[in-house]
Structure 1
Amino acid sequence: MLLVAAVSAGCSPTSAEPEPGATGSPSAATSATSHTSETGPAASGSATPARPWSIVALGDSVPAGNACGCTPYPELTGQDLAAPPDRKVTVTNDAVSGYTTTDVLAQLQTDATVSDKVRSADIVEIEIGANDVGYSDSCGDAVSCYAPTVPEVEKNLGTIVSLVRQLTAGRQVLIVLLDYWSVWLGGQYAAAQGDAYVASAAEVTDQVNTVIASTADRTGSAYVDLRAAFKGPDYSYDETHYLAPDGDHPNATGHQQIASATVAVIRSALHLDPTGKS
């Protein structure tokens, strides 16, 4: 991201050892696709290691890392947060390609493996909503055809956050909601589809991102503005540099950009300095 990230603070930890915000959630389908990684200090002498953190990522093909062949941003986020304090960070990536808000909601309600991971998480990263309004031949460039789905995205996303908070009741957990640079193709790939496509993609993206930002504000979650991260504060930058050849997903550079923006928001929400200390 071009380091333009908005923060809507959740729970603010007050102890000397910062703990993430507050959240809750239940689950559905294919937890077999989840991936857990650990990053932490090598055995070393002196300083007492910071308290371990657990990060769970939920969402669609973007956090899942589709079309990249690289390390997805949730794992990169964990790596960044593990250094400099000697903190062990475990990342479980339960994002699934093709998922909509309905799918994540069902995942939390029916998949005990996922809900158990969320229950013990310190940070829950959620990026979902693009597939709800995915481009279709039947709707084409008609924004009005996609608009009726947006309220459902808002309702489902709010319920997802509520479920995460229920699962983590009594614990301090930070929920991080990430939006999209484009819910359809981006950069030069979008431009190749024509001006009408570009204009409609921007408008539908506006609608979905507004829902994500307002949900973060309403629920006390942190918010990462990926559109600004990829396209700059005035959305004028050509984000093709960050995209995989399919034009729809981030490449390795894009995932690094998302991770940088997400870590900046997490550090701000938890009042961490660049060394990871409060």
Structure 2
Amino acid sequence: MRVTPLRMMAAASVLLALLVAVGAVVGTSRTTQRVRAAPTAPASPSGSASTPLPATTSLPATTPAPDTTSVPATTSPSSAPQPGLVVGLGDSVTSGAACNCTPFVQTYAAALARRDGAPVRAVNLGHGGDTTVELLALLKGDAAARRALAQASVVVVTIGANDLVPLIARWTAGGCDDACVQPAVVTMGNGLAAALQEIRSQAPHARLLVTDYWNVFEDGEVADAKRGPGFATWSDEVTGSANMTICARAAAVGASCVDLYEPFEGEDGTRNPSALLADDGDHPNAAGHALIAATLLHATP
């Protein structure tokens, strides 16, 4: 068959169209394959990818990286709760003189342990006859006292009565009115303030409880019998002034003032406290120490 130029041109056009179509299909297939099999981007010298990875290559959320955080210090054996420590400071009332019983410091610590369900031990540093000046000397110069205070969770202080003992001689010699009493009370208060500030510096985080007195001298049936008529009334007035000063000095350092006057003397101050006192009419007996411990416990949140 003879092929005319027109037919040859038509055939060439068809062949060209087929080639273009085949090329388009091939190109599309390669492009699709490149997206599906894109290689992971090479790492940069610092270890990070030089180009972002496609979203389809990220790790699923269910396979987090291992946790390399160190164990918290709170799980170490050294951080286990330590037993509480009650430190008692003060005069013969604190030490338990004339009682032949367990002093209130130890009784209070045991009651605190029972109430809170945690171990509590006691260190009683009370010393008969001590004044506020002597307490301050103990705090500054006694290594054992300083070690105890550094570990204390509660510090209980009863001090100040012995600072006022010289007033008894003045009353016996002819009386001692308010003008006689107040300078001695102020001096006692200043000594107490210095001691409490020292305690705060050595035991800044301890709960500080400062008691006042039911009486700074003899009380009950012994008072007038030993010192003469009118002594009980006068000593009660001295005690009221001393207690106000003790509580003011305690408040100045953020301590709690624990009142012992009402538990011993009653709300109106007319109760005879002899049943709570030793035979000397001055120091608490076993019942008195138990009452002080219970009063301290009530004052401890």
Question: CA 1:137–1:85 in 2, change beyond 3 Å: closer, same or farther?
Answer: closer
In the other structure, the counterpart of 2:258 is 224
Report which of the two structures shows the higher radius of gyration computed on alpha carbons: 2
5+ long unaligned stretches in structure 2 = 1-79
Query: Secondary structure at the residue paired with 1:66?
Result: coil
In the other structure, the counterpart of 2:62 is none
In the other structure, the counterpart of 1:185 is 218
Contact 1:55–1:90 under 8 Å retained in 2: yes
Please say which of residues 212-221 and 87-96 is displaced more in the overlay: 212-221
Cα distance in 2 for partners of 1:86, 1:131 equals 37
Picking from 99, 106, 109, the partner of 2:140 is 109
Contact 1:50–1:85 under 8 Å retained in 2: no
Over aligned residues, Cα RMSD in angstroms? 1.7
Deviation, 1:136, is 3.3
In the other structure, the counterpart of 1:121 is 152
Deviation, 1:84, is 3.8
Could you report, residue by residue, the CA deviation over 1:58-105 in whole angstroms, capped at 9, with x for unpaired residues?
000001000000000000000100104331111000010000001101
More helix by share: 2
Could you report, residue by residue, the CA deviation over 1:116-165 in whole angstroms, capped at 9, with x for unpaired residues?
11111010100000000015334424144343211111111111111111
In the other structure, the counterpart of 1:136 is 168
Query: Secondary structure at the residue paired with 1:266?
Result: coil
Picking from 190, 197, 201, the partner of 1:166 is 201
Do structure 1's residue 57 and structure 2's residue 88 form an aligned pair? yes
In the other structure, the counterpart of 1:274 is none
Q: Which amino acid aligns with 2:281?
A: G
Cα distance in 2 for partners of 1:212, 1:146 equals 15
Deviation, 1:216, is 2.0
Query: Secondary structure at the residue paired with 1:83?
Result: helix
Picking from 157, 166, 187, the partner of 1:152 is 187
Contact 1:222–1:266 under 8 Å retained in 2: no
Q: Which amino acid aligns with 1:189?
A: V
Cα distance in 2 for partners of 1:234, 1:84 equals 31
In the other structure, the counterpart of 1:37 is none
Question: CA 1:50–1:240 in 2, change beyond 3 Å: closer, same or farther?
Answer: farther
Query: Secondary structure at the residue paired with 1:91?
Result: strand
Contact 2:224–2:230 under 8 Å retained in 1: no
Cα distance in 2 for partners of 1:229, 1:50 equals 34
Q: Which amino acid aligns with 2:168?
A: S
Contact 1:70–1:252 under 8 Å retained in 2: yes
Cα distance in 1 for partners of 2:224, 2:259 equals 22
Query: Secondary structure at the residue paired with 2:168?
Result: coil
5+ long unaligned stretches in structure 1 = 1-48, 268-278
Contact 1:99–1:131 under 8 Å retained in 2: yes
* TM-score where L is the length of structure 1: 0.74
In the other structure, the counterpart of 1:11 is none
Cα distance in 1 for partners of 2:263, 2:300 equals 15
Q: Which amino acid aligns with 1:147?
A: Q
In the other structure, the counterpart of 2:282 is 248
Q: Which amino acid aligns with 1:142?
A: C
How many correspondences in the alignment?
217
Could you report, residue by residue, the CA deviation over 1:141-197 in whole angstroms, capped at 9, with x for unpaired residues?
41443432111111111111111111124xx21110001111111111113244421
Contact 2:96–2:103 under 8 Å retained in 1: yes
Q: Which amino acid aligns with 2:163?
A: D
Higher relative contact order (CA 8 A, sep 6+): 1
- Identity, % of aligned pairs? 33
Query: Secondary structure at the residue paired with 1:136?
Result: helix
Structure 1 segments (4+ residues) deviating >3 Å = 143-146
Do structure 1's residue 261 and structure 2's residue 295 form an aligned pair? yes
Please say which of residues 100-109 and 80-89 is displaced more in the overlay: 80-89
